[in-house]
Chain A
Amino acid sequence: NAGVTQTPKFRILKIGQSMTLQCTQDMNHNYMYWYRQDPGMGLKLIYYSVGAGITDKGEVPNGYNVSRSTTEDFPLRLELAAPSQTSVYFCASSYSPSYNEQFFGPGTRLTVL
């Protein structure tokens, strides 16, 4: 049972480039989340999904897009990378919104230059 996996671990992008951060979970969780973590700050929610085909915006969605075609996968897309998107990105999943114990992946460290 791998839990939540994320790829890549590190990435450097130039301004204006695009990329997709991958997230996969093998726990059959319906609920999945994308967060970003900036130094000295807590985690900020970018997007979340309550099941395949259903996504919604979190606190800081601008500049990002998501899709959820399967229960297992929840990729995060950056279309036009900006320096403000330099951050560490975490994917998480949970079984139930009532007992919302979220399990996190190892993160992707992204630098935009």
Chain B
Amino acid sequence: GQQLNQSPQSMFIQEGEDVSMNCTSSSIFNTWLWYKQDPGEGPVLLIALYKAGELTSNGRLTAQFGITRKDSFLNISASIPSDVGIYFCAGQISDDYKLSFGAGTTVTVRA
């Protein structure tokens, strides 16, 4: 699979904060997906992006498909305690059935 670099690896949030994370690749992708995984569960799709420059929102979540097609960003606005979990980016190269996944960003509430 293609190498995806996801950062940061982990972050601490305080309720009400805006947070952001990103994913970069050395390859050009035609699809970017963002998933969230809660402990003991499977990943759940948050946002799908199919076009360079596309900006898509899902409630307090906003994701962008980078203009170079080699990166994507996810922002969470006004974070709440249930935003904790692991966020994964995934990308797909044209004409390939397979997704490549980043290693994930773990979001934790700051004590």
A binding-site residues for B, Cβ under 8 Å: 4, 31, 33, 40-45, 48, 50, 58-59, 90, 92, 97, 99-107
Interchain CB contact under 8 A, A58 and B98: yes
* Number of A-B pairs, beta carbon distance below 8 Å: 61
Q: What residue of chain A has the Cβ atom nearest to residue B33's Cβ?
A: A101
B binding-site residues for A, Cβ under 8 Å: 1, 4, 6, 31, 33, 35, 40-45, 48, 50, 88, 90, 92, 96-104
Interchain CB contact under 8 A, A102 and B88: no
Interchain CB contact under 8 A, B97 and A107: no
Closest chain-A Cβ to B23's Cβ sits at a distance in Å of 10
How many angstroms between the C-alpha atoms of A40 and B105 in the bound complex?
9
Interchain CB contact under 8 A, B98 and A107: no
Closest chain-A Cβ to B106's Cβ sits at a distance in Å of 9
Interchain CB contact under 8 A, B31 and A45: no
How many angstroms between the C-alpha atoms of A103 and B101 in the bound complex?
14
Interchain CB contact under 8 A, B41 and A100: no
**Which residues in B have their C-beta under 8 angstroms from that of A41?**
103
How many angstroms between the C-alpha atoms of A41 and B37 in the bound complex?
13
**Which residues in A have their C-beta under 8 angstroms from that of B4?**
42
Interchain CB contact under 8 A, A100 and B1: no
How many angstroms between the C-alpha atoms of A102 and B35 in the bound complex?
10
Give the top 5 A-B pairs by smallest Cβ distance, nearest first.
A42-B101, A104-B42, A43-B101, A97-B97, A42-B103
Pick from B31, B97, B100: contact of A48, CB under 8 Å: B97
Interchain CB contact under 8 A, B101 and A101: no
How many angstroms between the C-alpha atoms of A40 and B44 in the bound complex?
18
Interchain CB contact under 8 A, A102 and B45: yes
How many angstroms between the C-alpha atoms of A44 and B90 in the bound complex?
11
Closest chain-A Cβ to B94's Cβ sits at a distance in Å of 9
A4-B42, A59-B1, A106-B40 provided; 4 other pairs, C-beta below 8 A? Answer: A42-B103, A43-B88, A90-B43, A92-B42
Given A45-B98, A100-B92, also A40-B48 (CB < 8 A): no
**Which residues in B have their C-beta under 8 angstroms from that of A40?**
103-104
How many angstroms between the C-alpha atoms of A58 and B100 in the bound complex?
11
**Which residues in A have their C-beta under 8 angstroms from that of B35?**
104
